[in-house]
Amino acid sequence: MVLGPYLRRRTPDRGGRSRPQRDERPPAARLEEAVGLARAIDLKVVQAGLVPVPAIRPATYLGKGKVDEIAGIAKSLEVDLVVMDCAVSPSQQRNLEKAWNTKVLDRTG
């Protein structure tokens, strides 16, 4: 499984309205690249998806509801590995592995 977490960063324009930042690649393009990298090392990608993150959680990167949702998906698809297309700390990695009962790698891994 490949997950593409992305921060919902928005910056105000001159009228005070919120608009996406221009200097980042679209999350869908990043996810597509991550799926391609996983396949390039002979991983079978059974699920891939974008995960909007309002704020990074220190313990798990993602919020509890999303962690629980992904745990159910990983269990039903019998996922052996979750690739997070972001940088996670060792403690976040350990907590996600425990929650999902599977190996977790971040983009660098």
pLDDT in tens, 6-46: 998 655 556 655 555 544 789 999 999 999 999 999 999 99
pLDDT at site 64: 96
pLDDT at site 25: 85
In terms of pLDDT, which residue wins out, 66 or 16?
66
DSSP-derived letter for residue 10 is E
Question: For the chain, how many structural domains are there in total?
Answer: 1
Q: Residue 17's domain is classified under what CATH number?
A: 3.40.50
**How far apart, in whole angstroms, are the C-alpha atoms of residue 91 and residue 100?**
14
pLDDT at site 8: 81
pLDDT in tens, 77-107: 999 999 999 999 999 999 999 999 999 999 8
Structural domain harbouring 35:
2-106
pTM for the full model?
0.84
